[in-house]
Chains A and B, each alone.
Chain A
Amino acid sequence: MAVSVDPIHQFELQPLVSLGHIGNQQIAFTQSALYMFAAVGVIALLTIVATSGRSIVPSRMQSLAEIFYEFIADTLHQATGDEGKRFLPLVFSLFMFVLILNLFGMIPYAFAVTSHLIITFGLAALVIGVVIGYGVMKHGSHFFGLFVPSGVPKPLLAILVPIEIISFVSRPISLSVRLFANILAGHIAMKIFAFFVAALLSAGAWSVLSPLPLALTIALTALEFLVAALQAYVFATLTAIYLNDALHPGH
C-alpha cells in the first residue's frame, strides 16, 4: 500500500503549459494560475451571473452575493468611514479572492494557491502600495505625519519615529505571512494526520488506534474551514484598517 507521505508535495507547482524562461525565472501556466482564474470565474458566477436577475426578492445565490457585499461594505465603513467607499472594489475583490482560493484548497486533491508566500505577498504589497500611493496623492508630504505621533516630546520622537516606520514596513510582511502560514500549516497538519490513519491501518495490531488520527483529521478539517474564512476576513479587515491610514493620516 503506497501512500504519499510527503506533506510538502501538495504545494508543488505543476506547470500545465511551459512558456519558457526569463533569466532564471521559469514562466509557466501552472495549476496555481488555473486555480486563480477558476476563483475569478466562481466569484464572477456568484456576483455577476447570480445577480443578473436584479430581483427585488433575491434568489439564494443573489442573496449570498448581497450578504458578501453588505458584510464587506459594513466592515470597510466601520474602519474608514464614508470616504472609504472608493476602496470597496479593492477590499471586496481581495476578500472574495482569498476566501475562494482558501476554500478551493479545502477540496481534496486541490491546490491551495494562498499557501504560496509570493501570492499573499503580492496581495499585501498591492494593499500597501495603494495605501502609500493614495496617501501621498491625497495628503502629499502630510501623509508621512503618519510616522510622527502627535503630542510627544521631541527627544522621544527620535525613538518613536523609527518604531513607527518599522511597524509600517512590517505590515505587508505580517499581512502576507499570516495568511500564507495559516494555510500552509493547516494543510501540512491535515496531510500528516491523514497519513497517520493510513500508516496505522497498515501496521497490524496498531490499526486499532487509527480512529484517533481520523477523528483529529476530521476536527482539523473543520478548523481549516474556519481558518479559510477567518483569514480572508482578517485580510480584508486589516486592508480596511491600513486604508484608513491613507485616508486619515496623523494620529
Chain B
Amino acid sequence: MAQPNALTTPPPGSDTHVGAHTEQPAPHKGAFPPFESHTFLSQLIWLALAFGLLYYLMDKVALPRIQAILHDRANRLSSDLDEAQRMKSEADAAGAAYEKSLADAQSKARDIAQETRNALAAEAETKRKALEADLNQKLAASEATIRQRTGEAMGNVREIAGETASAIVERLTGQAPDQASLDRALDRAATAH
C-alpha cells in the first residue's frame, strides 16, 4: 500500500482538533466515533431540538397546507368535471333542438313546396279547362257556321239544279216544265241519293 503508516500512527492529537476534512491523516484517538459515548448526550440534545422543530413545522404548517392544496385540487377537479358534464348535456340539448328545428324547417319547406305545386297545378288545370271550353265553344260555333253554310249551299244547289233542269228540259223539249213536276223530280232525285 502507498501509505502503510497512515492507519497505524495516529499523530499526537488534542481532544478537540478543529481541522475540517484535510488531506492529512486524521487525528483520532483510536475510538470509533459512533461509539464515543461522551458525545451521546450532546447529539441527543441537538437531535431533539432539530427533530422537534421539524415536527412542529410539519405538523403546524407544511402538512395542513399540502393537505389543503390536495383537497382544493380534488374539489376543483370534481367541480370542473361536473361543470363540463353540465355543459356537455347543454350542448347536447342545443344540438337536439337544432336538429329538431332543422327537421321542422325541412318538413315545412316540403309542405310549402307541395302546396305551391298543388296551387299551381290547380290553376293550370282551371286555365286549361277554360281554354278547352273556349276552344270547344269556338269549335261548336265553327261547326254551326259550317252546317249553316252547307245548308245554305245545299239550298242553292236545289235552286240551281231546278234552274238547270228546267233549262235543259226547255232546250230538249222546247217548252219549260211546270214548277210542280220540277219539284217532284228534284225531290225524287234528292231522296234517291
Question: Chain A interface (Cβ within 8 Å of chain B)?
Answer: 1-6, 8-15, 18-19, 22, 24-30, 32-33, 36-37, 39-40, 43-44, 47-48, 51, 54-56, 58, 62, 65-66, 69-70, 88-90, 92-93, 96-97, 109, 115-119, 122-123, 126, 180, 184, 198-199, 202-203
Contact = CB atoms under 8 A, between A and B. Distances in A.
A100 B82 CA distance: 41
Contacts of B24: 2, 4
B47 interface: yes
Interface SS of chain B: helix, strand, loop or mixed?
helix
Contacts of A11: 32-34
Given A2-B24, A43-B58, A118-B40, 11 more contacts: A2-B25, A3-B3, A4-B22, A33-B46, A51-B66, A90-B55, A93-B55, A93-B58, A97-B50, A109-B21, A118-B34
Given A56-B73, A115-B34, A6 B28 contact: yes
Given A4-B21, A203-B2, A122 B48 contact: yes
The 5 closest A-B pairs by CB, nearest first: A9-B26, A33-B46, A47-B62, A36-B50, A89-B59
B16 A58 contact: no
Nearest to A115: B34
A149 B62 CA distance: 40
B103 interface: no
Interface string B132-153: 0000000000000000000000
Contact of B23 (A2, A51, A62, A69): A2
Contacts of B189: none
Contact of B65 (A13, A27, A54): A54
Contacts of A58: 69
Contact of A48 (B41, B51, B53, B65): B65
Contacts of B113: none
B35 A117 contact: yes
Contacts of A199: 1-3
Contacts of B55: 89-90, 93
Interface of B: 1-3, 6-7, 16-26, 28, 32-36, 38-48, 50-51, 53-55, 57-59, 61-63, 65-70, 72-73, 76
Contact of A47 (B43, B51, B58): B58
A27 B42 contact: yes
A156 B26 CA distance: 55
Contacts of B21: 4, 9-10, 109
Nearest to B47: A122
Contact of B25 (A1, A6, A89): A6
Given A89-B55, A122-B44, A12 B26 contact: yes
Contacts of A27: 41-42, 45
B62 A48 contact: yes
A8 B57 contact: no
Nearest to B51: A97
Contacts of B45: 27
18 contacts: A4-B21, A4-B26, A6-B6, A6-B7, A8-B28, A14-B19, A28-B42, A36-B46, A40-B53, A54-B72, A88-B63, A89-B55, A92-B58, A97-B50, A118-B43, A118-B44, A123-B51, A126-B51
A6 B26 contact: yes
A27 B16 CA distance: 12
A30 B18 CA distance: 11
A127 B21 CA distance: 34
A120 to B, nearest CB: 10
A121 to B, nearest CB: 9
Given A48-B61, A58-B69, A12 B33 contact: yes
